[in-house]
């Protein structure tokens, strides 16, 4: 006789969520971390802190290499590392950005760029121009080959704080608290505005530049099709994002969405939907995350609890 399964015995079709509380590397950074970045070869990590310092770490051992201090008057919100790893830029709450020499620890250039804090930095692919996005509702472009202390262009269409800027070969893509995702076409001199109808605190683009991930201040992350102007997916329920600067990334193989959370976790969603993994290694808000440039499943996270963690995330195909 065929046996009938009771409701309790029917196998669940829900996807199993993996809880990972074992980072491969843990660093006590001694001050709240607002941004973490791998350098271009992934051998070092840079972090920006509320104590107004930038710190350089060995990415394998977690040992401190150098501290850059004494110039910023407020917390550090973002870093941009040049591909030769000899220079980096820093910005923060003091309205100023600096270009630093990594080896000497001295700054090469100081520019008072905005009327309020600078949230984000982005280098163009040739690393000849840097963009700064600010709480003062503007993005400014700066010629790094010139000694001028005035921007070469000001983008002032924003109605609120600019939280993320991404500089591609022919576009500047910006997230803003006013709810609009703006794409400036550099070659055509045009602006495209997409109304996502909710404040954004972070942004990432797919490798083919066709899709955007927008981390929003209503604890949702949106997958947006930039070509047709449509929200394809909404990721929610496993992360909190309502106050901090925030951070979201596509995984290296583009199959996962990696979202920092204010409850100390990192949520890993499948691009097609569903939570796959939770990373639990911080006690306060995770503010910054970054992909390793060469190791596909490796990311680094920085938290307001003053710690840095390196994680290995198994890639899953779409």
Q: Average pLDDT over the chain, rounded to whole?
A: 93
For 255, counting Cβ atoms within 10 Å of its Cβ (0-12 exposed, 13-18 middle, 19+ buried), the class is middle
Summarize the confidence of residues 7-31 as an average pLDDT: 78
Per-residue pLDDT reduced to its tens digit, 197-235? 999 999 999 999 999 999 999 999 999 999 999 999 999
C-beta separation of 129 from 140 below 8 A? no
12: pLDDT confidence band, cut at 50, 70 and 90?
Answer: very low
Q: What are phi and psi of 252, to 5 degrees?
A: -60, -40
Question: Which of 266, 225, 290, 318 shows the shortest CA–CA distance to 37?
Answer: 290
pLDDT of residue 147: 87
Helix (H, G, I), strand (E, B) or coil at 80: strand
Q: What is the DSSP string of the chain?
A: -PPPPPGGGSPP-SPPPEEE---SEEEE-SS-EEEEEE-TTSSEEEEEETTS-EEEEETTT--EEEEE-SS-SS-EEEEEE-TTSSEEEEEETTSEEEEEETTT--EEEEEE--SS-EEEEEE-TTSSEEEEEETTS-EEEEETTS--SS-SEEE---SS-EEEEEE-SSEEEEEETTSEEEEEETTTTEEEEEE-SS-EEEEEE-TTSSEEEEEETTSEEEEEETTTTEEEEEEESS---SSS---EEE-TTSSEEEEE-TTSEEEEEETTSSEEEEEE--SS-EEEEEE-SS-TTEEEEEETTSEEEEEE------
Give this prediction's pTM. Answer: 0.92
14: pLDDT confidence band, cut at 50, 70 and 90?
Answer: low
Rounded CA separation 55/49 (Å): 8
Give the number of other CB atoms < 10 A from CB of residue 12: 6
pLDDT of residue 1: 38
Helix (H, G, I), strand (E, B) or coil at 102: coil
318: pLDDT confidence band, cut at 50, 70 and 90?
Answer: very low
Q: Is the dihedral of CA 98, 99, 101, 107 positive or negative?
A: negative
Match 């083919």 to its residue by tokens: 208
For 36, counting Cβ atoms within 10 Å of its Cβ (0-12 exposed, 13-18 middle, 19+ buried), the class is buried
pLDDT of residue 114: 96
Q: In the chain, what percentage of residues exceed pLDDT 90?
A: 90
Match 């030769």 to its residue by tokens: 84
Rounded CA separation 106/204 (Å): 31
Per-residue pLDDT reduced to its tens digit, 153-176? 999 999 999 999 999 999 999 999
Per-residue pLDDT reduced to its tens digit, 79-137? 999 999 999 999 999 999 999 999 999 999 999 999 999 999 999 999 999 999 999 99
Per-residue pLDDT reduced to its tens digit, 255-285? 999 999 999 999 999 999 999 999 999 999 9
Q: Tell me the CB-side half-sphere exposure of residue 201, using CA atoms within 13 A.
A: 21
Rounded CA separation 88/254 (Å): 27
pLDDT of residue 245: 74
Question: Domains in the chain, ordered, with CATH?
Answer: 16-312 (2.130.10.10)
pLDDT of residue 105: 97
């Amino acid at each position: 006789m065929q046996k009938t399964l009771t409701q309790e015995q029917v196998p669940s079709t829900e996807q199993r969520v993996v809880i990972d509380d074992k980072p491969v590397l843990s660093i006590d950074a001694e001050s709240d971390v607002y941004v973490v970045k791998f350098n271009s070869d992934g051998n070092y990590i840079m972090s920006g802190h509320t104590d107004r310092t930038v710190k350089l770490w060995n990415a394998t051992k977690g040992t401190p290499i150098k501290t850059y201090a004494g110039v910023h008057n407020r917390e550090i919100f973002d870093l941009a590392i040049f591909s030769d790893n000899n220079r980096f830029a820093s910005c923060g709450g003091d309205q100023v950005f600096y270009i630093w020499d990594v080896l000497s620890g001295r700054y090469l250039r100081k520019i008072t760029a905005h009327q309020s804090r600078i949230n984000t930095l982005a280098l163009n692919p040739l690393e000849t121009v840097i963009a700064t996005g600010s709480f003062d509702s503007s993005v400014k472009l700066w010629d790094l080959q010139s000694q001028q202390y005035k921007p070469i262009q000001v983008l002032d269409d924003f109605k609120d704080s600019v939280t993320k800027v991404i500089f591609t070969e022919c576009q500047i893509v910006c997230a803003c608290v006013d709810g609009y995702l703006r794409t400036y076409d550099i070659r055509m001199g045009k602006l495209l505005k997409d109304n996502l109808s909710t404040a954004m605190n972070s942004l990432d683009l797919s490798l083919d530049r066709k899709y955007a991930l927008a981390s929003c201040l209503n604890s949702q992350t949106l997958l947006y099709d930039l070509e047709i102007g449509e929200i394809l997916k909404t990721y929610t329920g496993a992360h909190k994002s309502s106050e901090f600067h925030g951070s979201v990334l596509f995984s290296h193989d583009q199959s996962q969405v990696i979202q920092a959370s204010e409850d100390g976790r990192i949520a890993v969603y499948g691009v097609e939907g569903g939570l796959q993994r939770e990373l639990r290694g911080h006690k306060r808000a995770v503010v910054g995350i970054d992909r390793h440039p060469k190791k596909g499943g490796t990311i680094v996270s920085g938290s307001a609890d003053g710690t840095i963690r390196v994680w290995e995330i198994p890639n899953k195909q779409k």
